[in-house]
Structure formats: structure tokens, C-alpha cells
Structure 1
Amino acid sequence: MRKEYDVVLDLPQEDSVQEELRPKRPRRKKISKFRFYFLNIFLGVVILGIIAAIFIYAGCRIQKVSFEGNTVYAEEDLKNQILNDKYSFNSVYVYLKSVFKPVEDIPFVESYHVKFNSPTSITIQIEQKSMMAYVMSADGENQVYFDDDGVVQEISTLHVDGLMLISGITVEDPKKGETLGIEEEQLEALLSMTKYIKKYDITASAIYFDEAGNLYITYGDSIQIEFGNSDYMSEKVMRLSYILPKLEGMTGTLHLEDWNTENTDIVFEKAE
């Protein structure tokens, strides 16, 4: 005999069925505050960079260039040597180039610095090489410029005003960065003379060595000074610095060649 059982089915409610059948919408990912601010700052920087680039390119075109410390070149010549590429119309570019990759091997120029006056105006400050005087090369074509230590700074056909010409000595094969190739006694006498002239602030236009090694100085266009050999050179130049102001406007020869500690006479022979 079969038993009858009551079967109760737990069926889902209609609302629940519809809810499960309804397609689920994808959940939106929330952006963290850090990412939000980072993206905004990044975009702001990019926009400012673009604006700055446009301003630098369009608003910093050089209209005026001035120089300080240059006594050798015509300004236009020096300008062409420094502003020497297609981007050198821009003051920011010229400044950055002078800091990170300056133009090198400009004759007579040790270094230079670019100073902003305005976005369209710059000043180029020149530091020239130290030069005391010059001699002519053996072929007579070049001027050999040297410093206080007798080291050759430049070899050029360009004449630099305000420097003494040293004549009566021959430089056969001058090389930049090396000492003048002359006899040691001549070099010592020359360097001593130029040192004392500088010390006592005497503006000589030329120094001459004769075959016997005697020294002569030309002061201005009218006074010749005979020094004789290099003995007592410091004492002679010191006395010369006292005498020269008294000879202003005169023409003639000042004799110091016989001066020594026992013979202190100094004779000025006026030109007729």
C-alpha cells in the first residue's frame, strides 16, 4: 500500500526571478583622490609647458646684442662668431648654449657669459686672454701674442691695439700654449722688463733688442729710452717712472744705459 507524502516546493518569488533575470550593469570604478589630483597637476604642467614653449619661441627673439670686455673685434664680427647657428635668434637658446655648450676656440677670447636684459635684448660679457705684448713671426706675416710668463696666447694676422711690439728678436716656430722660442737670456730680460713696466704703470709702445742684447723702449711717439743691458733693471724702471711725467711734450733720448749704484747720473738728450 503506497504512502502519500505532501511535497512542498520552495519556489522563488516572482519579483526575485525578475531581479535575477534583469541584466546587471557594470559597476563604475571609482578614481582615487591621489590619481585625480595627480592627473590634474600633470595636465596643468603640460599646458603651462606648451604655453612657455610658445612664449620662448615667439617672444624671445633677439633684437639687440651688446658686448662688454671686448677690445679686439668689431662687434658684428664677434656676434657672428658666437651667434653662429640657426637657433641663435632666440635669447633663451643662446643663454643655455653659453652655459652647457659654449662656442670654443674664438681667437683672443678665454670665455664669455650671456646676460639677459630683456627677452629680446642680451649682453655678452667677454673675458679676453691675458696678453702682454707681441712679436712678429719669422716670416713677417703673423703677430705672436704672449702673456706675462712668455707663453704664446695667439698667433694671428689681426692687430690688437694697446699692446707693445717687441722687435729685434726672431720667433721661428711659435706654437699656442708654449713659451716663446727665443734665447733664454733674451726671454728673461724681456719678461723682467715687461713685468716692471706693468708694475710701475708705464705705457710703452715698443721694446727693441739690438744685436748686443741692449734694451730700448719707445715711449709714445717722441721719447726713446736706452736701458743698456738688463743689469739694475728694477732700479732703472723705478727711476724712469719718476722722470717720464717731467718729460711730457718733449722729444729726445733718455740715457739709462750707464746707470748703476755708483753712477747715478741720468741724461736726457733733447732732439734738435
Structure 2
Amino acid sequence: MAKKKRKKRKKRSYAAESAFHPFEKLRDSFRYKRSLYVITGIIMFAVLVVAAAVLYVADNYTVKNIEVDGNTHYSKDEIADMVMTDKLCHNSMFLSMKYMNKSIEDIPFIEKIDVDIVSKDTVKINVFEKAVAGYIAYLGRYIYFDREGIVVECSSETTEDVPQVMGLNFDHITMHEKLPIDEDHQLIFGEILDITQLLNKYKLHADKIFFDSDFNVYLYFGGVEVSIGKNDYIDEKIQQLQYQLPKLEGQTGILNLKDLNEDTKLFTFTPKN
């Protein structure tokens, strides 16, 4: 009899469990849905935060002012176009990440371009140009070289601030190597750059620099040929040009400065018919 009673109690226990089972499912379902709502709410909140952050950055970090320093071969607008290549680049925060520890290279006449973020709406573009002394015309192209005579650029176009150099003859030219000139005359490239820099200093632009067989220097400004002679007193000779060339505007002839020195300000102008 005792055994039968125990069996009956077990049956009642199973029945009770069966009765509560649907409630447990309902409770678990409620917990699942509540968790789902919480997760969905968190995701939506995160999306709203990100969207707000994106809108804030877009509104407050738009580039409005562009400063460019060190450019002579390219205008400010041309340099800006090289840096700000798409719409995203008009955002200073994106721009700072894009050019972080990185420079723009492989641009004709330019060594590199760095970008500094001055403020939320202002960037500064620093241009580092190659030290170009002059160019020569060779096989339909224009070959630019530095003060060491190393070819730094080959272009189909001329640039306004760099003079053409004539009187130097070559049988071949190789990019990024020295122009093949006699060893005895290697210093001529430094002389060319000195002349170019002095012309820039006094805001003068020579169309051509010509060297004769004895490496005497001649400069050409429109119809005026300037005989410089050797490199002696080159600073004084170029300085004198800033006073004489305006007087000779529109004329054609030879301005002889080869005998000018620090003591003798001797020069002559011979008109041409």
C-alpha cells in the first residue's frame, strides 16, 4: 500500500509540471522579446549617435580656407586640385587622416607636397619644389636640370620662370642622371642656377641663357641681348639689369656688361637696325 501511495504522488508531481510548462515558455518568450527590444534600442541609439557625429563633422569640418606655400610652377588653385581630389577631401578631418605621415609625390617639378590642418575649416599646403636651374630643348622635348646638371624633369611644355639654356651640346640624355658635359665644365650648372636665382631676386625674366664656345654668358630679354662675359661680378651685373632694362624697353640691340665690376660701372648699349 505504501508503494502505491508513492506512485500516486509522483503522478501528481508530473501533472503539476505539465501544468506549469506553458507558463515557463511564455516567460521565456517575454524575456527573449524584451532582450530583443533592448538590443534593437541600443543599436538604434548607436546609429543615431554615429549619424549625429557624421553630421557634426560634415557641418563643422568643411574646408573653407586653403593656404598654399612654396609654389612657383603651379598656381594656388592647381595645387589645391592636386590635394583635394574628391568631395571627401573637402573635409579637414578626412584630409588629415588621408595625408597623415604621407606626402604627395610624382608631380612634375615638385619634390613633395605636405598637408597641415590649421583649424577645423583651414588647411595649409606646403609645396617643396625641385631646384630647377634651366632647361634645354632636345628632340622635341624640354629637359629640365638642377644645379648639379642632373635631369629632374622631361616635359612637353615650358615653364615661365625657368630660362632656356643654349650652347650646351649632348649626344644623349638620361633621366635622373647628369647631362653628359665635359668634366672641365661641370661647374657651369651651378653658374646657371646662380644666374637664375639672381634674376628671380631682382624680378627679371630672361628668355634664354646662351653660352658660347668659350663659355661666355649671354642673356636675352626680348630684343635685348646682354653680354655678361664670365661669371665674375655676376651679382653686380644682374643687379645693373634692373635699372637698364626698363630704359631699353621696346628697343633692339646689345647691352655690354662684361667689363662691369665693383669699381667700374662701365657698360654700353649698341642698337641694332
TM-score category (smaller protein):
0.5 to 0.7
Once structures 1 and 2 are overlaid, which stretch shifts more, 236-245 or 105-114?
236-245
Q: Is the 8 A contact 2:147 2:189 kept in 1?
A: no
Aligned residue number for residue 134 of structure 2: 134
Q: Are positions 1:255 and 2:253 aligned together?
A: no
Aligned residue number for residue 113 of structure 2: 111
Q: Is the 8 A contact 1:223 1:253 kept in 2?
A: yes
Q: Are positions 1:154 and 2:153 aligned together?
A: yes
Aligned residue number for residue 225 of structure 2: 224
Aligned residue number for residue 72 of structure 2: 71
Tell me the alpha carbon deviations over residues 213-272 of structure 1, each in whole angstroms, 9 at most, x when there is no partner.
Answer: 332112x324211234x3xx22255245236514532132122456799x9954321334
Q: Are positions 1:144 and 2:127 aligned together?
A: no
Aligned residue number for residue 20 of structure 1: none
Shift of the alpha carbon at 1:61?
A: 6.4
**Which one has the largest radius of gyration?**
1
Q: Is the 8 A contact 1:87 1:93 kept in 2?
A: yes
Q: Are positions 1:168 and 2:167 aligned together?
A: yes
Structure richer in helix, relative to its length = 2
**Structure 2: tracts of 5 or more residues without a match:** 1-45
Shift of the alpha carbon at 1:105?
A: 1.9
Q: Which amino acid aligns with 1:81?
A: M
Distance of 1:151 and 1:91 partners within structure 2: 38
Question: TM-score, structure 2 length as denominator?
Answer: 0.61
Q: Is the 8 A contact 1:134 1:164 kept in 2?
A: yes
Moved over 6 A (4+): 258-261
Q: Secondary structure of 2:143's match?
A: strand
Distance of 1:79 and 1:260 partners within structure 2: 45
Shift of the alpha carbon at 1:211?
A: 4.3
Q: Is the 8 A contact 1:133 1:165 kept in 2?
A: no
CA RMSD of aligned residues (A): 3.8
Q: Is the 8 A contact 1:207 1:215 kept in 2?
A: yes
What is the number of residues matched between the two proteins?
218
Shift of the alpha carbon at 1:131?
A: 2.8
Shift of the alpha carbon at 1:208?
A: 0.9
Q: Secondary structure of 2:187's match?
A: helix
Q: Is the 8 A contact 1:236 1:259 kept in 2?
A: no
Q: Map residues 232-247 of structure 1 onto 2, 5 A cutoff.
A: 233-235=231-233, 237-242=235-240, 244-247=242-245
**Structure 1: tracts of 5 or more residues without a match:** 1-45
Distance of 1:65 and 1:154 partners within structure 2: 31
Aligned residue number for residue 26 of structure 2: none
Distance of 2:167 and 2:84 partners within structure 1: 40
Q: Are positions 1:210 and 2:212 aligned together?
A: yes
Distance of 2:243 and 2:119 partners within structure 1: 43
Q: Which amino acid aligns with 2:217?
A: L
Q: Which amino acid aligns with 1:113?
A: V
Q: Are positions 1:100 and 2:98 aligned together?
A: no
Q: Secondary structure of 1:114's match?
A: strand
Q: Is the 8 A contact 1:56 1:92 kept in 2?
A: no
Shift of the alpha carbon at 1:68?
A: 1.3
Distance of 2:85 and 2:242 partners within structure 1: 47
